[in-house]
Amino acid sequence: MDNSDIEKTETLNFEIKNRPYLIKNYCTNWYAYKNWTFEYLKNLKGSELSVNAVKGNAALGEGEFTSIKFSDYIDKIASNYTSAYLTTFYLFQKFPDLKKHIEYKNIKEKALLYHLLSWIGPKGSITGFHCDWSENLNVQIKGEKYFYLVSPEYNKYMYISSKFERISSLSKVDIKNFDQKKFPLFEQAKVIKVHLKQGDAIYIPRGWWHYVESLTPSIGISCHYWTTGGFFRDLIPETLKVFLHDMGIYKRINCACHVLDKNGKRVKRG
């Protein structure tokens, strides 16, 4: 399947809540779109900070973490010298001035709460199947990706994992290494494949499964947001789980966000 299977709009439409849609050229007027490059990120003030990138499919809880300076990591992406992926990275917390380079006033005005993440990685990096308990807008600043989407109406075919992920649920299915014998029911799920090109955005409703594959070295951001109903239904209980997990009380190591180092200490990705 391709982009013909998904609705296209000219802007973010808050009246559409139960189906995904593609927004062409969403960010082409942003400062970030016009000015961000890997070299630009590499030379940010404070880029010597250490980050934990992931090799492999973190959603399966099998990813190997690698600790590296942010500037060195960006350099390796630009030279095609790494397969690690800097996922769910709090870029705008580490570099607050970058918030001025994107436009999200419409979300700030409509949402009760929101948070911003970045996704920076080389060609071939993936985010495994998961569904977020928030509304989700993904914006492609640089590069291109494939998004594979599955409606929650097919939940019974998604082989939902018991592993913990932050404000998300995970699937055991790896669409790029699909094992039909282990996951035969998945073939009954309708998968929508969307080609997200540079400058485009995709809206993914709460509860929709998505698997993401980078076709080129890429820089993307996502804005997760909650209206009043979603705040009480999803964010409060999910945030409690995150708090207990980070305290080591709830699913301490049965998760996709931490690994144990050689000293038995939990290390968080990002």
Instruction: Give the model's pLDDT for residue 269.
Output: 87
Total number of residues shown for the chain: 270
pLDDT digits (tens, 9 = 90+) for 74-88: 999 988 788 899 999
Q: Is the pLDDT of residue 2 over 70?
A: no
> Which domains does the chain possess?
3-268 (2.60.120.650)
Instruction: Give the model's pLDDT for residue 213.
Output: 96
Instruction: Give the model's pLDDT for residue 4.
Output: 55
**Phi first, then psi: what are they for 39, rounded to 5°?**
-65, -40
Place 1 in a pLDDT band, splitting at 50, 70 and 90: very low
Instruction: Give the model's pLDDT for residue 97.
Output: 97
Instruction: Give the model's pLDDT for residue 259.
Output: 84
In 3D, which of 127, 178, 117 has the Cα closest to residue 148?
Answer: 127
Residue with the bigger pLDDT between 269 and 45: it is 45
Residue type, 153: E
Q: Is the pLDDT of residue 138 over 60?
A: yes
Place 209 in a pLDDT band, splitting at 50, 70 and 90: very high
In 3D, which of 119, 69, 61, 126 has the Cα closest to residue 90?
Answer: 119
Model pTM? 0.94
Contacts made by residues 2-8, CB under 8 angstroms, sequence distance 24+: 2/193, 2/194, 2/195, 3/194, 3/195, 5/192, 5/193, 5/194, 6/149, 6/192, 6/194
CA distances from 34 to 46, 88, 199, 218, 270 (A): 22, 23, 10, 14, 25
189-197 mean pLDDT: 96
Instruction: Give the model's pLDDT for residue 263.
Output: 80
pLDDT digits (tens, 9 = 90+) for 10-59: 899 999 989 999 999 999 999 999 999 999 999 999 999 999 998 888 88
Instruction: Give the model's pLDDT for residue 3.
Output: 56
254-261 mean pLDDT: 86
Mean residue pLDDT of the chain comes to 93
